[in-house]
Structure 1
Amino acid sequence: MSNPYKGRTGLDRIRRALGYSMSGLQAAYKGEDAFRQECWLALVLMPSAFWLGRSWVEVVLLVGSVLLVMIVELLNSGIEAAIDRVSFELHDLSKRAKDLASAAVLLSLVLCGGIWAAALWSRFAG
C-alpha cells in the first residue's frame, strides 16, 4: 500500500514542503494567540541578541532560545489541533497530551528566560 502523496522528489518536493511550512506558520499566526505574541517578541529579541551577545556563541544561544520557544509552541499547537480533531469530549489521555505539550512550552520559556537573564547579567553586572 503506497501513499499517492509521497511520490514527490527533488525540487518539486522541496517546493511543496516549503509551501506546507509557510501555510503552517500562517495558520499559527492567525489562529494561535500565544504564537502571535511570541512572533512579536522575537521581532524585538532577535535583533537585540546581536547587540547583547558578546560572541557568536552568545548570539546563537540568544536567538536559538527564542526560536526554540516558537518551535515548541508550534508543536504544542499541532498536538492540540490533533486532539481537538479527534474529539472535543473530555478524556484523561487528551488532557494529558495537552498538559504535557503545555509543560514543554513552559520549559522552553524558562530556558529562554534563563539564557537571556544570564546574558543581561553578564553584560551589565559582569
Structure 2
Amino acid sequence: MDLKDRRISEWKRFYESFKFAWSGIFQTFKAERNFQIHVFITVLVCIGGLALHFTKFEWIVILFLVGGMLAFELMNTALERVVDLVTKEFHPLAKSAKDAAAGAVFIYAILSVIIGIIIVSNHF
C-alpha cells in the first residue's frame, strides 16, 4: 500500500467513525425514552433561551449542560447494553454497575436543572 492509499484509508476510517457515532445517537434516540425526554427538554431550553435572550456566556453554560447530559445518557445506555450482553441473569454486580451509571446521569440532571434555574431567574 503506497502513501496515497494509506491516506485515503485513514480518511475513510475517520469518516466512518462519524457515521458510527451518528448511528449510535440515532439508535439511542429511537430506543431510549429517557434520551428522547432529554432531547425534548433540550429543544425547550433552546427555545426558552432564544425567548429570554440568553447572553453568550449563558449559552455556553447551557450548551455544556445539554451536551454533558446527552453524553451521560449515551454512556449510560452503552453501559446498560454491555452489562445486558454479559449477563441476562440477575447479578448484584450488574445491578450495581447499572445503578451507578443511572446515578451519574441523575446527579448531572439535578445539577443542570439547578444551574438552569439560576440562569433563567436572572431574566425575571
Does the alignment reach a TM-score above 0.5?
yes
**Unaligned ranges ≥5, structure 2:** 1-7
Give the 4+ runs in structure 1 shifted more than 2 A. 46-55
Alignment size in residue pairs = 117
**Richer in helix (by share):** 2
Tell me how far apart the structure 2 counterparts of residues 20 and 27 of structure 1 sit (CA, whole Å).
Answer: 10
Tell me how far apart the structure 1 counterparts of residues 69 and 48 of structure 2 sit (CA, whole Å).
Answer: 16
Residue 44 (structure 2) aligns with: 44
Residue 22 (structure 1) aligns with: 22
**Unaligned ranges ≥5, structure 1:** 1-7
Q: Supply the RMSD in Å over aligned alpha carbons.
A: 1.7
The TM-score with structure 1 as length reference comes to 0.84
Alpha-carbon deviation of 1:54? 4.2
User: How do 1:8-87 and structure 2 match up within 5 A?
Assistant: 10-52=10-52, 54-87=54-87
Alpha-carbon deviation of 1:10? 3.2
Tell me how far apart the structure 1 counterparts of residues 72 and 90 of structure 2 sit (CA, whole Å).
Answer: 24
Amino acid at match of 2:12: D
Residue 103 (structure 2) aligns with: 103
Q: Secondary structure at the match of 2:89?
A: coil
Q: Deviations over 1:36-66 (max 9, x none)?
A: 1111111221243344464311111012211
Identical pairs, percent: 24
The TM-score with structure 2 as length reference comes to 0.85
8 Å CA contact 1:79–1:98 kept in 2: the answer is yes
